[in-house]
Amino acid sequence: SCYSAPLLLSSPVLGTRPQTFRALALRGGANMATSADEDQKTARCNWPALEANPEVLTNFIHGVGVPKTWAFHDVLGLDAELLGMVPQPAQAFVLLYPDAEHPDQTRDASSEASSPFFLWQGPPLGNACGTIASIHAVVNTAAGESLVSGSALASFVDETKGLHPQDRGLALEKHEGIRAVHCAQAQEGQTQSHTEAVDHHFVCFVHSGGRLLELDGLKGAPVDRGPTNQDSLLVDAAEVVKAEFFAKNPDAKYILLALGPSMD
């Protein structure tokens, strides 16, 4: 099959949560829209959006304790030649896509707390999807194997490794170390006013146990996208992005990033 390649943005775009009413539905709903709006405004101020910029996300992961041997890189397209330009071995594929209305996801309290490391994004996390995608990308790959001892991310992983995804999300809401780094990076980049409601969302793809997993904090569990291995991660993730995102919304604008070895 063929597809019409959507526009891949080189200019910055902000990641976001979905609209207030859907976010609140995941926590049981709300009685008054005005109260919900105020809660979301507060959440966006506490967790403003990160720019979809490899430098911003790289500075974020370094700030929370990832060694400087790892970095995010632009992915300029999904054909083999462009994927081959990404520094190897690539560890994770991150997609920023338009967060159009899509059905609420069922969140099961029995979801596994073990592998992969996965956390839910509740309403108080505001526009934290870029941070959540970065955490998923790091902790589930080789980049997370040598976190700086005592760093914000190392402490968060140690404190939450045995918890349910919901409880991990609740722990992130209260983790001032990670939030401080997040907020500092939200002030970087080229865009202005990071606390408004924005209309794009970050998700992450990683290899785990021979499977390609889509990790989206707004969903109840990781989504199994089929077989993969570390060497074919980018190619396999690219096929999923073409079929599940580009083909369904070919006129939209996307940003693609990959976590891999630093070039510095």
Catalytic residues: 129, 201
CB atoms within 10 A of CB 257: 26
**Contact yes or no for 116/206 (Cβ under 8 A):** yes
**Interatomic CA distance for residues 260 and 257, integer angstroms:** 10
Q: Of 154, 133, 142, whose CA–CA distance to 200 is shortest? A: 133
SS3 60: helix
Residues sharing a CB contact under 8 Å with residue 196, sequence separation 6 or more, in sequence order: 44
Return the structure tokens found at 11.
């200019």
Strands 253-261 and 7-8: what pairing?
parallel
Return the structure tokens found at 45.
């101020």
**Interatomic CA distance for residues 95 and 254, integer angstroms:** 7
